[in-house]
Chain A
Amino acid sequence: MAARVAVIRFPGSNCDMDAVQAIRTLKGARADLVWHEDKAVSDYDAVVVPGGFSFGDYLRAGAIAAKSPAMERIRKAADQGLPVLGICNGFQILIEAGLLPGALLRNSTLRFVCRWTALRVDSDSTSFTRRMRKGQVLHIPIAHNEGRYYAPKGDLARLSREGLVVLRYCDEDGVPSASANPTGTSDNIAAICNRAGNVMGLMPHPERGTEPLLSPSGSDDGALIFRSMLEAA
């Protein structure tokens, strides 16, 4: 049976259709757009919280969506072990909702940045990276204003130690150098997960990197994240 993925649509989500389209092209996947007020989340095998500007990012990116009733249902799904993936604004929402630790601050340049990035896989045991190997370099674009991951120093060390840092911005050789860091994010962090490895948030947009025609490097690396998720679902 095909795994069923719910892509949650908040007012102001704008990468929701893209996520649905990207997942639907994969074998063994069904994806539905689920309006945030609909109660159907429990019928699904995995949940994607897509990018965009939910509720206009008023107050603070992700803050209002994090308090919506949909979030309670997503929290329950996460507790039951379903894969829950937050992309960009979805990552901001998961952090605001407390499903993931830390905070996302404005980029150090104080500018929005849309760019293809190289990412090093630092953990291959999560629900979203099980089809990758540690050290592998992925090419996936970013597009955001508030993606500078922040956590107190001690927490950063703990995240690394416990393998909760999943992706880091790196150069083509896989080195997470300062020049490869597009936003000033702590320790080049692009993605983190929870302890159980079934909830991940990432700033890059895997849905934009699933087809060679759309990728400057001709890769389909974004699909690896969704394929891993479907396998874990």
Chain B
Amino acid sequence: MGLTGEEAARIRRLLGREPNETEWAIFDAEWSEHSSYKSSKGLLRRFPTKGKRVLLGPGYDAGVVDVGGGYAVTLHIESHNHPSAVDPYGGASTGIGGVLRDIISVGSRPIALVDVLRFGDPERSGHSKWLFRNVVRGIADYGNCVGVPTIAGDIEFDESFERNCLVDVACVGLARKGSVILGEARHPGDLLVLVGGSTGRDGVGGAAFASKSLAKGPESERKSVQVPDPFMKKLLIDAILEVAEAGLIRGMKDLGGGGLSTALSEVASKGGCGVDVELGRVQVREPGMGPTEVMTSESQERMLLLLDPKKAERVARTLDKYEVPHQVIGRVTGGNSMKLRWNGKVVVDLPAKAVAEAPLIPRKRGPAPRQARSPAMPKTPPLGESLLSLLSSPNISSRRWVYEQYDHEVGLRTVAKPGEADASVLRLPNGAGLAVKADGNSRHSSLDPRKGGAGCVAEACRNVAAVGGEPIAMVDHLQFGDPSDPEVYRQFVETVEGMAGYCEGVGLPVVGGKVSFYNEDVGSGRAIKPSPIAMVVGLIPALKKRASSSFSDGESVIAVGETRPELGGSEYFERVLGVVGGTVPAADPRADSRAYKAVAKLVRTGVAASAHDCSKGGFGVAVAEMCTRNSIGATIDLGLLPGGALSDPEALFSESHGRFLLSTRNPVRAKSALRRAGVPSAVVGKVGGSHLSFERGRKRVARVSVDSVTGSWEEPLGRLMG
């Protein structure tokens, strides 16, 4: 059991008696960190959550955002880290299953999946390769089968994830604005109907499992991993959306972490009602299961529906057509008690509010470490060589090996596809486009959590702007080690402050999120690098053209935003020079906002033929990436880059935020638009030829052939994964 002595005492006080075994198990699941956010809730209030487009903010199964024309987009993000470390295929699959349920449970149709993956170094670790390969296959098999395209993501490899990989999955849904369904029991007499797969012993105690470190070695935790069934999920999606769209559902809640315990206590406490449930009616998969296991099982592909009894018959008919099992397990009652029976006998009688509202845990925050001195700069290898080494880094090279395994086309909505532009773009039924991207940078976050937190939001916003989108909403996922460690808690606090401050500054509401603690290496007890993830969606008012991030012959190249000497945590420092430390890039929300608006407009109007943000690997890598698709070179003068005086490595590889590269046939018009918007920019070169050359005036800084650029960047991941 994961409850502390203090929590157990509090429960006894609340009830005025000793709880029985089933009741303890319910509290254990619902008061776990995973379900209750007891270490983080207070701090998460810092995020701005309101905005003119926000219809439903944090605290529900999914955030809901108005995208105009009577439509709304729903967003949710989750992780399945511990299950994926134990069983990469099953863990990743059920992660997808879980996030899909959240999107369905607000009555919206899932239209896109996004995944963010963090693994150990595949160049050194066979174990990480094995995990990665099977996680990708798990996501692919599940997403492809349910018919929801996987359209975007972000991948980072770092040794801190060797024993604790991160598998984050996010989902975007689409609904009519007025038809959002909530998981609240508001009408006494409503039927509680359990829909979908049967309840087995898989995933028993999964929420508690997620709320501690992977202790005894992964094998002992296999039973805590759920079993995926994408076919059942597909039927569940089709059946539930059919009844939801017909207006037959009064409330809905997915069964995820904590299983029935969480679902029942939350619908009751949120709706201000009680529930009376006969657990003997739950269809079980294995003989001999008792009430405790039934309440805490996390078997997949299950939903709880709240139905007006008058409409129950019509719902049952539709579910039967899809051969989706369903059982009435109880009723909503007045009052606030969660009464559970086992073959008629009351086995649990708890106040729902008490179960759903775990007490917060005050955590200690460690002192900020002393400012580390700037690391000494070792002798630098030739810059052309460094550029090619960066392009072949698993953190930078082409992601084709991954995204080609995902069906990213199903649904006829994917306009900008993975690999074509900085963010993927979905076509919406109102004629608008939705740009989608998730980002994070654990190296920046590890050196400076505050800047890293702001930076991941900035990077996602840039990617969205580079395809013409105006950022409208964000969901976040915050992943850290054990929060009782004051240093981990300090990282967490500073990350949230950094992210929240940036969101505030650019006017970006946060509509949902997740926190995952206890991500650490079992052997050494060392926590992962702090890993905040931001998924940002942006709106393209009228979608008419396809975004591109590739050069074409004869175009001029414009650098947007200032490059600063910020090599701390850069791929150049860590991969090429082996240096850890230095100044981490700082994001300036006010300057960035102006750049987002101006760049997005240039992209939408076609003045910019292509656009790409500068992030990992810096300006040099960004230019090289734009050369690959059309196999065309460019000549760039580094002396013209906006910003102060920079060394050549800084100019090429600094990872300063707020920067874009544009290619255009109309540099005068693009420049003047940027100037009017108050955004620093300069024409720095021209596209053409078979080489990529960086110069300073007449002096050559680096020169590589386009073939070597493409060769370095295109293949490494596929070769590594085989």
Contacts of B89 in A (CB 8 A): none
- Is A11 part of the binding interface, using a Cβ–Cβ cutoff of 8 Å? yes
Q: Are A52 and B414 CB-contacts (below 8 A) given A11-B235, A14-B234, A216-B420?
A: no
- Contact of A56 with B145 in the complex, beta carbons under 8 Å: yes
Chain B, interface residues (CB within 8 Å), range: 20 to 34
Q: Are A213 and B140 CB-contacts (below 8 A) given A14-B147, A55-B231, A112-B405?
A: no
Comparing A15-23, A78-86, A124-132, A151-159, the segment that makes contact with chain B is A15-23
- Contact of A113 with B404 in the complex, beta carbons under 8 Å: yes
Cβ < 8 Å to A, chain B residues 310-368 = 321-323
In the docked arrangement, what's the CA distance between A185 and B288, Å? Answer: 50
In the docked arrangement, what's the CA distance between A141 and B404, Å? Answer: 11
Cβ < 8 Å to B, chain A residues 47-61 = 52-53, 55-58
Q: Which residue of B lies closest to A13 (CB)?
A: B147
Contacts of A112 in B (CB 8 A): 140-141, 144, 404-407
- Contact of B412 with A35 in the complex, beta carbons under 8 Å: no
Contacts of B410 in A (CB 8 A): 14-15, 18, 143, 208
Contacts of A141 in B (CB 8 A): 409
Q: Are A12 and B145 CB-contacts (below 8 A) given A207-B412, A208-B409?
A: yes
- Contact of A12 with B231 in the complex, beta carbons under 8 Å: yes
- Is B514 part of the binding interface, using a Cβ–Cβ cutoff of 8 Å? no
- Is A39 part of the binding interface, using a Cβ–Cβ cutoff of 8 Å? no
In the docked arrangement, what's the CA distance between A18 and B149, Å? Answer: 13
Contact string, A97-126, partner B, CB cutoff 8 A, digits 1/0? 000000000000001111100000000000
- Is A205 part of the binding interface, using a Cβ–Cβ cutoff of 8 Å? yes
Contact string, B488-505, partner A, CB cutoff 8 A, digits 1/0? 000000000000000000
Q: A53: which of B145, B321, B405, B546 is its contact (CB, 8 Å)? A: B145
Closest beta carbon of chain B to A82's beta carbon, Å: 25
* Chain A interface mostly: mixed
Q: A214: which of B229, B231, B412 is its contact (CB, 8 Å)? A: B412
Q: Are A115 and B404 CB-contacts (below 8 A) given A15-B147, A53-B145?
A: yes
Chain A interface residue count, CB cutoff 8 Å, equals 29
- Contact of A11 with B144 in the complex, beta carbons under 8 Å: no
- Contact of B231 with A114 in the complex, beta carbons under 8 Å: no
Question: Which residue of B144, B232, B404, B410 has the most chain A CB atoms within 10 A of its CB atom?
Answer: B410
In the docked arrangement, what's the CA distance between A212 and B544, Å? Answer: 10
Q: Which residue of B lies closest to A51 (CB)?
A: B410
Contact string, B386-429, partner A, CB cutoff 8 A, digits 1/0? 00000000000000000111111111101101001000000100
Q: List 26 A-B contacts (CB under 8 A).
A: A12-B231, A14-B410, A15-B147, A53-B144, A53-B234, A56-B145, A56-B234, A57-B145, A112-B140, A112-B404, A112-B407, A113-B404, A114-B403, A114-B408, A143-B407, A143-B410, A207-B412, A211-B412, A213-B415, A213-B543, A213-B544, A214-B409, A214-B412, A214-B415, A214-B427, A216-B546
**Closest CB pairs A-B (n = 5):** A14-B147, A56-B231, A143-B407, A53-B145, A112-B405
Q: A14-B410, A112-B140, A213-B415 are in contact. List 9 more A-B contacts (CB 8 A).
A: A11-B235, A14-B145, A18-B410, A53-B234, A143-B409, A207-B412, A213-B543, A214-B415, A216-B420
